[in-house]
Structure 1
Amino acid sequence: MRTLCASTLIGEFFVIGFAGLVAMKSDDLSVATVWTVCGIAMVVALLLCGMITRPGGVQLGWAFQICLVASGFVVPAMFLLGILFGALWWASVHYGRVIDAAKARWAAQAAAQGAPEADAA
């Protein structure tokens, strides 16, 4: 699960950076405000990559997805991108757990058969 979720968050890191470039064209926002908010969001995306397997990590990821969708009020294209990344987040969490369960099953089967390869996986 960690690899899939971290890949989604890294993709969001780049999307937030590009959204910052778009938001800079707004007359209502200063450049400093745009890059402060985008910079914080980009750092949060990177920090969440390391927190996925910790308690509450997935829930923080969901909160981040909601914030990404809400950024559509500043950059309207982020409504669509936020929803797409929210769907990717769901798929990463869901299928990551399925893959983790399958890996655990295979490791248990290999350990039950006494295969030394179980430790290498």
Structure 2
Amino acid sequence: MRMLCASTLIGEFFVIGFAGLVAMQLSDLSDTTIWTVSGVAMLLCVVLCGALGRRGGVTLGWVLQAALVASGFVVPTMFFLGIVFAALWWASVHFGRRIDEAKARWARLASEAEQGGDEAAATPA
């Protein structure tokens, strides 16, 4: 799950940076305000990549998704991009957990097969 979610967050990092550039042209906000907000959001993307394995990491990711959608009030295209990334985030979390469960199941089956193979090899025929 962490790999898929981190990939989504890195994509968002770049989108937020480009949205900051667009906001400078379309918004009445000061450049300092735009880059402070964009910079904090971009930093949060990078920090969340490392925090995904910890409690609350995925929840903070959802908060970031909501903020990305809300940024559409400054740059209207971000409504669309925010929804796209929220869908990607959902898919990353949902399918990532399924992949993690499948990997754990395969590892358990391989371990059981290995243990069964060792016992069979140790038992004389």
TM-score by length of 2: 0.89
The answer to which structure has the higher helix fraction is 2
Structure 1 residues 51-73: Cα deviation after superposition (integer angstroms, max 9, x where no partner): 11111111111111000000000
The two structures, once aligned, show a CA RMSD in angstroms of 1.0
- Displacement of 1:26 in angstroms is 3.0
- Partner Cα separation in structure 2 for residue 27 and residue 62 of structure 1: 25
Mark the runs of 5 or more structure 1 residues left unpaired by the alignment.
116-121
What secondary structure is seen at the aligned counterpart in 1 of 2:14?
helix
Percent of aligned positions with the same letter in both sequences?
68
Structure 1 residues 46-102: Cα deviation after superposition (integer angstroms, max 9, x where no partner): 001111111111111111100000000000000000000000000000000000000
Q: Is contact 2:27-2:74 (8 Å) kept? A: no
What is the number of residues matched between the two proteins?
A: 115
Per the alignment, residue 42 of structure 1 pairs with 42
Runs of 4+ in 1 over 3 A off after TM superposition: none
Per the alignment, residue 91 of structure 1 pairs with 91
- Partner Cα separation in structure 1 for residue 4 and residue 27 of structure 2: 37
What pairs up with 1:1-80 in 2 under 5 angstroms?
1-80=1-80
- Partner Cα separation in structure 2 for residue 39 and residue 57 of structure 1: 19
When Rg is computed on C-alpha atoms for both structures, the one with the higher figure is 2
- Partner Cα separation in structure 1 for residue 81 and residue 20 of structure 2: 14
What secondary structure is seen at the aligned counterpart in 1 of 2:114?
coil
- Displacement of 1:111 in angstroms is 0.5
Mark the runs of 5 or more structure 2 residues left unpaired by the alignment.
116-125
Change (3 A) 1:78 1:105: same
